[in-house]
Structure 1
Amino acid sequence: MGSHRADRTPPRSPAATAAAVESGHGHSHGGPPPALDVGLRARAVLLGLLAVGAVVTLVGLVVLWPAASDAPEEVDFLRSGTTTLTAPVVDVGPSCPVLVDGEQGSREPPPEDCDTLTADVGGEDVTLGVPPYVGRSGLVAGDTVRLIRLPASSTPDGQVGYGFAGVERTLPLGLLAGAFVVLVGLVARLRGLLALVGLGLAALVIARFLLPALLAGGSGWAVAAVGSAAIMYVVLYLAHGPSLRTSAALLGTLAGIGATALLGVWAVGAARLSGISDETGEVLATYAPALDSQGVLACAVIIAGLGVLNDVTITQSSAVWELRAAAPELSRRQLFGSAMRIGRDHIASTIYTIVFAYAGTGLAVLMLLSLYDRPFLELLADESIGVEIVRTLASAVGLVLAVPLTTAVAALTVGGAVVPEDA
């Protein structure tokens, strides 16, 4: 499907070529792709399929876009007359003794000011109770907290009251985010900054389409598939540039999204997961009665694997491009096999990434379960455990399938083998 050009370089074995590419280019997403001859038919088929996918995605956005009348009523976080304010911490009381089996761990009575903090509200010291973990977080005098101000009409004694809302963390989190952006700009330069822009656009799709559509009762797997496709069309071309190499990765990504969606929907139904595994799910079901909880879980399965899926597909497409540039004499079968040797290593590392990411986010749950003397198979009956297993395995299967699919698309797109003139 491509024109032939002369190449007097002695041919290398596919394994040696794959090793060279993996050490030099296998995980490098920077720099322009090699200039390769791509046949018109391969170019037309690839871009035609992506054009069809773009049309389907746009139609899906139009059809699934929620109407304003379908949105559930917004819930007021604060009661009428209740406001929030920030106040500096004056003093933090000691932590109360830990209760063990319903009995106080210490025979001495707890201090009167335990699990409290004193804040300066308009020049007046206000002492209020806080959860035990607040004092153990390292909160000290001079820190800033956010309080809830209760009007006098809503308190039993008819006086203004205050409650603890949380610690003001805007400054440290802002500094962390700023450092991240600066480092991305310094190390990855324009490509990294464009990736951040793509991340912002992805957040916009999630906030303006995906979340409202789910709250309005839209099909979870359909909303996730359309929203994910829209995100990938923008993110991949913005971060990696418009090229056939990126287009091949995009087609593989869309195939991976489809596989993950199908598997996720089946797994949620087959495992009889309700999608409500904690207090947050119960609150959502209360305030958004049209919400399809199982659909939300299927949506979470699809969205959870997008980042890793994007990584493996662009890497595989880049590997094929680099292999073809380094060894133009390889047949398409050899090209596919060499790229898959790189892909298998990437699959192994990304599977670790997925599992360890979920283990990190659910570490507290895992620690709690380790305290219970229950057989492992009995733990599978717990909804929260079943949700994480389905989310992990469905994302991993979609990832594994995306590697050979993307590799095949890229291998069929680049030009065919070149026969040396002196062969």
Structure 2
Amino acid sequence: MGADHTRPAPSAPPGVRRILVATVVPLFVLTVLAALVLWPRHTPTPEHAADVPRYHGTVTRVVTEPCPPAAEVPEGTPGGSAGPCGTVGVAVEQGPDAGRQVETPLPAGPGAPTVEVGDRIVLVELLDPADPATKSYNIAEHQRGKPLIWLAALFAVAIVAFGRWRGLAALGGLVASFAILLGFVLPGIGAGQSPLLVAIVGSALIMFVVLYLTHGITAQTSVAVLGTLGSLVLTGVLGTLATAATHLTGFGSEDATTLSMFQRDVDLHGLLLAGIVIGSLGVLDDVTVTQAATVTELAHANPGLSRLQLYRAATRVGRAHIASTVNTIVLAYAGASLPLLLLLVADSRPVSEILTSEFMAQEIVRSAVATIGLIAAVPLTTGLAAVVTAAGRGGAAGSAAPASRPPAEPDAALAALSAPRAGAAPGALGGRTGPERSTDTAW
């Protein structure tokens, strides 16, 4: 993470460069052309309802009082909240009443904000339909702009402080990711394009920009790009087969149902597939970059390792990585759907019926497909990295390991990391001249 991109790195052999360029450049050009073809040119204009005026204010007084007796309602009928009751004094900071003190009801009900003196809140202005000249204010929510800005600043400072120039590049990649999502993927799906196709093309664009911007234009990054792209395509194919086999419609959540009311031409089944592909991209990037870097480090630590030994040693690292990442994927999906999962737990239906319901089946398919695509990324990226790294060493590519290092040695990875390179000075690991020297192989 902290490697300095300004340090010179040994160039890859011309043959390796030509092969990588001939593979990566056409894929990038094809991705850009596909994005231009799918680019939304006639996005539908949303129908705006009459916006309720919203103004900022500061709470100056909170007065609580006993709630009036609730009206009797039939048993089992949802009733209103039993409290709290009272009034709130607010100093209005915007709008026609800026600088004045207004009185609002104390917020009550499920999800109502809890206010105290000094809180900065958002007011909504309500007009009386019978008498438009009469208006009142209600507290909608707290102002969150300033805390979010401070949190974003802390987030950026932490990344740059730890990652240095590479951390700054990672922030640039994050901005590019959101720009592609908001400027291409979401408008493209909203315009009626195939969600799966838009998601794959958008994910490929994000991948090219983020990986090369964050990790530099190197042979190692190009291997990660190829591994990520192949795994993305596999994830899309598996998702298509799995959702077809389980007859998922995409209407498994309340959000999808609400979206179908506002945009009837959106393909919710395709939207489900698009979510699987985009959700897998971030984890795939992590795995493929790690595998490509692991092979490079092993090769620099012990040039005597053959392609097969490099592959086996790096795959052991990949297995450990996958074991923890699989749990990460499942918990991420579970955490995002925690309220609905709690609702399902309280359901009186049998467990088998709950697990095969639309919502649960959708989450199971999402997690399983993403995990399979992730697992496939390890051998794919590791194999490519082993071939490219061994080819970059010339004669060592096909040479067998020394007799004292049999291929089946169980501690091959540890031995490779600890063995000195040929011709290295005593005490220098792998012949490096300093602890900060980058092992990325430049194009």
TM-score class normalised by the smaller sequence: 0.7 to 0.9
For residue 125 of structure 1, the aligned residue among 70, 78, 102 is: 102
Alpha-carbon deviation of 1:139? 3.2
AA paired with 1:56? L
CA pair 37-338 structure 1, distance change in 2 beyond 3 A: farther
For residue 340 of structure 2, the aligned residue among 365, 378, 381 is: 365
Q: Is the Cα–Cα contact under 8 Å of residues 42 and 412 in structure 1 kept in the other structure? A: no
CA pair 357-104 structure 1, distance change in 2 beyond 3 A: closer
Alpha-carbon deviation of 1:251? 0.5
Q: Is the Cα–Cα contact under 8 Å of residues 34 and 322 in structure 1 kept in the other structure? A: no
User: Residue deviations 1:93-131, cap 9 Å, x none?
Assistant: 5898999x74999xxx956716x7553344233223635
CA pair 103-295 structure 1, distance change in 2 beyond 3 A: closer
Structure 1 unmatched runs, 5+: 1-27
CA pair 112-47 structure 1, distance change in 2 beyond 3 A: closer
Q: How does 1:322-361 map to 2 (within 5 A)?
A: 322-361=297-336
> Partner residue of 1:83?
53
Alpha-carbon deviation of 1:395? 1.1
Aligned residue pairs total 386
List, as ranges, runs of 4+ consecutive aligned residues in structure 1 with deviation greater than 6 Å.
Answer: 94-99
Q: Is the Cα–Cα contact under 8 Å of residues 39 and 415 in structure 1 kept in the other structure? A: no
- Counterpart check, 1:59 vs 2:33: yes
Distance 1:397 1:117 in 2: 54
- Counterpart check, 1:183 vs 2:158: yes
CA pair 95-318 structure 1, distance change in 2 beyond 3 A: farther
> Partner residue of 2:419?
none
> Partner residue of 2:386?
411
Alpha-carbon deviation of 1:392? 1.3
CA pair 133-394 structure 1, distance change in 2 beyond 3 A: same
> Partner residue of 2:210?
235
CA pair 277-128 structure 1, distance change in 2 beyond 3 A: farther
Alpha-carbon deviation of 1:385? 1.8
AA paired with 2:267? D
For residue 46 of structure 2, the aligned residue among 62, 74, 82 is: 74
Q: How does 1:6-405 map to 2 (within 5 A)?
A: 30=3, 38-68=12-42, 71-76=43-48, 78-79=49-50, 82-89=52-59, 90-91=61-62, 93=64, 102=76, 110=82, 113=85, 117-121=88-92, 122=97, 123-128=100-105, 130-134=107-111, 138-151=114-127, 154=129, 158-405=133-380
CA pair 375-168 structure 1, distance change in 2 beyond 3 A: same
Distance 1:55 1:262 in 2: 22
Alpha-carbon RMSD across the aligned residues, in angstroms, is 3.2
Q: Is the Cα–Cα contact under 8 Å of residues 34 and 321 in structure 1 kept in the other structure? A: no
Further displaced range: 120-129 or 30-39: 30-39
Distance 1:53 1:95 in 2: 69
Structure 1 SS opposite 2:122:
strand
User: Residue deviations 1:347-374, cap 9 Å, x none?
Assistant: 1111111111122222222222222233
User: Residue deviations 1:56-92, cap 9 Å, x none?
Assistant: 1011101111122xx222232x516x32111222327
User: Residue deviations 1:290-326, cap 9 Å, x none?
Assistant: 2111111111111111111100000000001011111
Distance 1:117 1:280 in 2: 33
Structure 2 SS opposite 1:315:
helix
Q: Is the Cα–Cα contact under 8 Å of residues 248 and 410 in structure 1 kept in the other structure? A: yes
CA pair 84-150 structure 1, distance change in 2 beyond 3 A: same
Higher relative contact order (CA 8 A, sep 6+): 1
Q: Is the Cα–Cα contact under 8 Å of residues 38 and 415 in structure 1 kept in the other structure? A: no
> Partner residue of 2:411?
none
Distance 2:45 2:189 in 1: 14
Alpha-carbon deviation of 1:263? 1.2
CA pair 155-343 structure 1, distance change in 2 beyond 3 A: farther
Alpha-carbon deviation of 1:273? 1.9
> Partner residue of 1:12?
none
Alpha-carbon deviation of 1:255? 0.6
Structure 2 SS opposite 1:132:
coil
AA paired with 1:287? F
Q: How many percent of aligned residue pairs carry the same amino acid? A: 37
AA paired with 1:84? R
Distance 2:367 2:63 in 1: 41
Q: Is the Cα–Cα contact under 8 Å of residues 72 and 288 in structure 1 kept in the other structure? A: no
